[in-house]
Every structure is written in C-alpha cells, then in structure tokens.
C-alpha cells in the first residue's frame, strides 16, 4: 500500500533539513543533531521511574526502571520484568529518546521495564553493546528481589539496534539458565553482514536510509571485525532452536524490512513460537512517533498484549 498519510506528513516536516554528509559526519555531531530535534508524545503515565546502576565486568551501566500503575492499585503484587534496549544505530539515543516506548510497554503489558544504557560506538565498538546486553539481562535475572519483580519471569525488547541487542541476548542466554519468556523486536537490525533487497527498494526517502545504515555499521565495527558473528548478526546463527518466543514488527517502507522478516521466518522454521506483523504504510522508527502516527499507538498496544500474555503464561 502507499506510505501512510501521517508518515508522509512527518517526512514532509523533515524535508527542509540539510542532507547528512556521511563522509564528514561524526558520532558527537549526529548525537547533537538528534538532541536538538523535537520530541514526541511522552507515552503512558506510569507509577514510578527510578534510575539505577548495573554492575558488569566492563564497568557499571546506567539503567532506568519503569513501574506501571497496577490493576489492583496497591502495588503489593510482584510484576514480571522486561529488559529494554533502545535503538539509535549503536551510536546514539538513550533513556529520554525511548522513554515513551518503555512507558507504554510497561503500562500496557503490566510489566516492569528496565531500560539499559549500553555502551555506544564508536567509543565502544562491537562487541561492547552485545556483551553489555547479555550482562544486563543476566544481572536482572539474578536480582529480582532487589528490583522487586517476579522471579523467573523475564522478557527482552528493543527497537532497531536495540532489537539487535535483544535478539542477541535471547540467543546467547538460551542455555545459560536465564529463562527468557519472550522477545519483542521492533524493526530490528539482525544482519550486519548483508544488504537485503529492501536496502535498495526502501533505502532512500523513508527516514532511515541505506546510507545511514552503512554509516552506523562503520561506527559500530572496527576494520576487520566479523559482521556475520551471531553477536552482531542474529540472523547468521546456524541454530535457532530453543530461542525464546518472539514478536517481530517490521515496517513496509524500511530498508531493514527484509532481514527482520527473514529472521521471523527462520525462528518459526526452528520451532520457535513467532508472531510477525508487517505494519503497512509505515517506515522505520514509527513506533516511537507517538502523537504523530496513529500506527505507533496501535503497534505498541498489540505488542504489549502479546508480551503480557507471554509473561503471564510463563507463570501459570
């Protein structure tokens, strides 16, 4: 179908911005550009937000905990936990840019959400972010009492590069004793080694471009790094059996569409319970554009409903 009218309006509003010169662009300049941009709707109201630190072998990671307003209203029941990783091409973004996603997932799925501030490239190149993601999930699974969440009920979630990290953690921890109940991946990066046909078909004019993705990868990977390593490219893993059930949301007008959909198909072929939803008429990053796109609200509600069911089933 045609690009959604609201998505067209977003792109039209951005049309006056000067094009990015990727030959000269630096990560600090890109982050400053994003920080100067406007925000979107803040998401659902939650009961509390709390900043904390996660100890890891590579040093402490900042994290933010979102607690939903519970149905019983007294806060006495322990809720399951979802560990969230933000997008931003492994280079940018953080708590504030993705707070609306975290609040909506927390409130609509009735889950505590732990958003992790993993190390960014190029200051910390691959596999730093992937290792941080695995360390954060391990720590969260081992510290349910301190986090005041239900033990044994944990999910992972993320968008774009954060979807990559969530998928990596779900793969790497499947035989580690960490019981991941579900993974929610919004238009994830799952193949850093190959450009699929949607790179050419949807690689220009739809917010995220093929050129931008190539620049992100140049920041994330040092020269000679193995981009087909499953720590970088979950789609490259030879065996996907035993990976947590998955919800994968792709966007029709997204250069990452094909790799996300291939990953959903491969998970299903491996016997993993997988829900794949291609959002028609939408572009990469649409779920963050609350207040500008009706589709953002709809996608977050649907993903949260599936997540809530998966986490509930884990404890019945």
Instruction: Write the pLDDT tens digit of every residue in 34-57.
Output: 888 777 899 999 999 999 999 998
| Residue range 89-117, pLDDT digits in tens | 999 999 999 999 999 999 999 999 999 99
Beta strand 61-67 pairing with 112-117: antiparallel
* pLDDT for the residue numbered 35: 86
Question: What CATH number is given to the structural domain containing 241?
Answer: 3.40.50.1820
Q: What is the pLDDT of residue 1?
A: 80
Which of 29, 16, 157, 7 lies closest to 86, judged by CA? 157
Band (300; pLDDT cuts 50, 70, 90): very high
Q: Which residue has the tokens 């982050």?
A: 31
Query: Above 80 in pLDDT, residue 76?
Result: no
pLDDT of the residue at 73: 42
Q: Would the pLDDT of 213 be above 80?
A: yes
* pLDDT band, very low/low/confident/very high, at 315 (cuts 50, 70, 90): low
**Confidence band (pLDDT; 50, 70, 90) for 59?**
very high
CA-based nearest residue to 244, from 192, 151, 310, 162: 310
Query: 71: pLDDT confidence band, cut at 50, 70 and 90?
Result: low
Provide the residue range defining the domain that includes 203.
5-313
Helix (H, G, I), strand (E, B) or coil at 17: coil
Let me know: does 279 contact 252? Beta carbons within 8 Å.
yes
* pLDDT (0 to 100) of residue 86: 98
pLDDT for position 216? 98
Q: For residues 164 and 196, give the distance between their C-alpha atoms in angstroms, rounded to a whole number.
A: 16
pLDDT tens digit sequence for 190-208 = 999 999 999 999 999 999 9
Catalytic hit among 115, 144, 160, 245: 160
Residue 221's pLDDT band (cuts 50, 70, 90): very high
Tens digit of each residue's pLDDT (9 = 90 or more) over 129-167: 999 999 999 999 999 999 999 998 899 999 999 999 999
State residue 275's pLDDT score: 98
pLDDT at residue 72 is higher than 70? no
Q: Which two structure tokens, joined as six digits, stand for 217?
A: 């990868």
Active site residue 250: no
- For CA atoms 142, 148, 151, 157, the dihedral sign is negative
What local confidence, expressed as pLDDT, does residue 316 receive?
53
Beta bridge partners of 82: 113, 155
Number of structural domains found in the chain? 1
> What are the pLDDT digits (tens) for 248-294?
999 999 999 999 999 999 999 999 999 999 999 999 999 999 999 99
Mean pLDDT of the chain, nearest integer? 95
Contacts of 122 (CB under 8 A, 6+ apart): 27, 91, 219, 220
User: What pLDDT is recorded for position 270?
Assistant: 98
Q: Which residues have C-beta within 8 Å of that of residue 182, sequence separation ≥ 6?
A: 155, 156, 244, 245, 246, 247, 306, 307, 310, 311, 314
Q: Where are the beta strands (DSSP E) in 138-259?
A: 154-159, 180-186, 245-253
């Amino acid at each position: 179908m045609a690009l959604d009218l609201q998505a067209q309006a977003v792109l039209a509003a951005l049309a006056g911005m000067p094009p990015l010169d990727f030959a000269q662009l630096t990560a600090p300049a890109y982050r400053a550009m994003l920080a100067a941009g406007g925000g979107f709707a803040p998401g659902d109201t939650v009961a509390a937000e709390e900043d904390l630190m996660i100890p890891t072998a590579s040093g402490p990671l900042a994290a933010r905990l979102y607690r939903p307003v519970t149905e019983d209203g007294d806060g006495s029941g322990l809720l399951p936990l979802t560990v969230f990783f933000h997008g931003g091409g492994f280079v940018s973004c953080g708590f504030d840019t993705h707070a609306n996603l975290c609040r909506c997932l927390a409130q609509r799925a009735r889950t505590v959400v732990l958003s992790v501030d993993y190390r960014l490239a190029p200051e910390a190149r691959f596999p730093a972010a992937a290792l941080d993601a695995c360390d954060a999930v391990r720590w969260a699974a081992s510290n349910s009492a301190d986090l005041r969440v239900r033990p044994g009920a944990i999910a992972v979630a993320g968008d774009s590069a954060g979807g990559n990290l969530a998928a990596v953690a779900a793969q790497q921890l499947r035989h580690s004793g960490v019981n991941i109940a579900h993974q929610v991946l919004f238009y994830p990066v799952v193949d850093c080694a190959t450009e699929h046909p949607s790179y050419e078909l949807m690689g220009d004019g739809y917010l995220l471009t093929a050129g931008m993705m190539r620049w992100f990868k140049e920041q994330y990977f040092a020269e000679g790094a193995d981009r087909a390593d499953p720590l970088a490219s979950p789609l490259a893993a030879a065996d996907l059996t035993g990976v947590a059930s998955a919800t994968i949301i792709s966007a029709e007008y997204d250069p990452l569409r094909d790799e996300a959909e291939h990953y959903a198909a491969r998970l299903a072929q491996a016997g993993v319970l997988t829900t794949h939803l291609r959002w028609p008429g939408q572009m990469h990053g649409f779920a963050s554009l609350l207040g500008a796109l009706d589709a953002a609200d709809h996608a977050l509600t649907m993903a949260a409903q599936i997540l809530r069911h998966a986490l509930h089933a884990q404890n019945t």
